[in-house]
Amino acid sequence: MIGNRVEAALNEQIVQEFYASQYYLSMSAHFERTGYPGFAHWMRMQADEEREHALRIFDFVNDRAGRVVLGRIDAPPSEFGSPLEVFQAALAHERKVTALIGELYRLAVEETDYPTQVMLQWFVNEQVQEEKVASDIVDRLRLAGDDKSALLLLETELGQRQGEAGG
Ligand code: FEO
């Protein structure tokens, strides 16, 4: 069994993860449109990963004999700026998700819900990685500045991103 408050918060987090998926997919479309297929690929993989995050919580609520109630997912923006601005927005979004996971964890502690705490530990670790990866890309885009060849190199590199097992 799962408590009502934790169940509601997990359902809300499912929506947040699906929103993140939509957000990155919209960024992927933006990069397709503006001539950056490598960045578009990277964002598409990121969108897939966020969907996996949503399903991870979905499965957990079901496993605990809880009730999954899927909420409304807001439309993401469709206008974005330069590659640097897009990745800065992605980093800001990951920081927001980290804060949400932190609040969820705090609630699970308050409710002495140990299984949820254990499940969320995966997300706590994942957010460290998510922020690091986004932050590294922002740093490299800053360094590249107006250097087109450095930008193309990074573009090619990110275009090689593979799916991650357990995503
Ligand atoms: Fe599901 Fe990128 O955090």
Residue nearest to atom 1 of ligand 1 (CA): 50
What pTM did the predictor assign? 0.95
The ligand 1 atom nearest the CA atom of 126: 3
Residue with tokens 């009502």: 4
Ligand 1 center to residue 138 CA distance, Å? Answer: 17
The single-letter DSSP state of residue 3 is -
Q: Is the distance from the beta carbon of residue 20 to the nearest atom of ligand 1 less than 6 Å?
A: yes
Ligand 1 center to residue 147 CA distance, Å? Answer: 30
Give pLDDT tens digits for 20-62. 999 999 999 999 999 999 999 999 999 999 999 999 999 999 9
d(CA 53, CA 124): 12
Contact 40, 161 (CB under 8 A): no
Give pLDDT tens digits for 52-90. 999 999 999 999 999 999 999 999 999 999 999 999 999
For residue 166, pLDDT beyond 50: no
Q: Which pLDDT band holds residue 163 (cuts at 50, 70, 90)?
A: confident
Ligand 1 center to residue 95 CA distance, Å? Answer: 9
Q: How many helices (H) and strands (E) does the chain have?
A: 5, 0
Q: Is the distance from the beta carbon of residue 97 to the nearest atom of ligand 1 less than 6 Å?
A: yes
Q: Per-residue DSSP letters for 68-101? A: ------PPPP-----HHHHHHHHHHHHHHHHHHH
Contact 160, 146 (CB under 8 A): no
Ligand 1 center to residue 149 CA distance, Å? Answer: 30
At 157, list the tokens: 């590199």
d(CA 27, CA 16): 16
